[in-house]
Amino acid sequence: MKALLSIGLFLVWSCSTFGQNEDLGNWIMYFGQNRFSDKLSLHTEIQYRNHTAVPTEIEQLLTRIGLNYHLDDQNMITAGYGYISSYEYLSEQSIPESEEHRIWQQFISINHVSKVKLEHRYRLEQRWVNSNYRNRIRYRLMAFVPLYQKEDKKLFIGLYDEIFMNTREVFFDRNRLYGALGYQFNKEVGVQTGMLHQQVGPKGKWYLQFAVFYNPDFRKN
C-alpha cells in the first residue's frame, strides 16, 4: 500500500507541475470482463483521454464492446465494435474533429516464466475514420511481475510494449510503452496507475494512466 500511496503522490505532483501543458496527457480508463458462461464473456471498455495532465482538455473518447470466447484458461478470442471520437487541442467546437467506427478481432494467449505472467495480444482492426477506410495490425506483449500476494489480494508491476502496423501507406503507425503499479483487491476488482509513452512518427508524448478493472463472474449466480 505504501507503493500505491507513492504513485498517488507522484500523480498529484505531476498534475500540479504540468497543469495545462500539452506535453503531458492523461488517460482515465475502465475495463470489464463480464463472465456469464464457461466459454463466453462480454468485454466492456471506456477510455477518457486528455491532451493535458489535468483531465479538462479532451483528446479522445473511446468506447469498445466485444464478445469473448474462452478456448481454455490461457487462450481467448474476441470480436467486437468500437467508437472513437477525437478532438483537437484547445478546439473551439463542441463536436469532434474526427469520428471512427471500428470492427476488431483479437487473440490473447497467456504463459508464465517462473512467477512472471506474460500476456500476448494479437489484434486486427477494420477502421472507418470519417470517410476513409483503413486496416491495422497490433501486437502487445505485457508482463505482470508480482510484488506481494495474500489470498486474492495482489500487488504487482505491469509492463507492456505494443506496436501498431498499417497494411498500406506508412507501415509503422505507432508504438506504446507502458509501466504501472497495480493492485488486485479481489478476483473481480483491480486498479493500475502509471505512465505510458506513445510514439507516433517523430513525435512522442507521455500520458498519466489510471485504470479500473471490474470482472464480475455471473456463473456463480
Q: Could you tell me the pLDDT band of residue 193, with boundaries at 50, 70 and 90?
A: very high
**Model confidence pLDDT, tens digit, residues 49-90:** 999 999 999 999 999 999 999 999 999 999 999 999 999 998
- pTM for the whole structure: 0.88
**Average pLDDT for 86-95:** 88
Who wins on pLDDT, 220 or 198? Answer: 198
pLDDT attached to residue 136: 97
Residue ranges of E strands in the chain:
24-35, 40-50, 58-70, 75-86, 98-113, 116-129, 132-150, 153-166, 172-184, 189-200, 203-214
**Residue 170, exposed/middle/buried by CB under 10 A (0-12, 13-18, 19+)?**
exposed
Share above pLDDT 90 across residues of the chain, in percent, rounded to a whole number? 81
Assigned CATH topology for domain 2-220: Porin (2.40.160)
**Residue 161, exposed/middle/buried by CB under 10 A (0-12, 13-18, 19+)?**
middle
Lookup: cell for 79: 470480436
Q: Please, are residues 197 and 179 in contact by the beta-carbon 8 Å criterion?
A: no
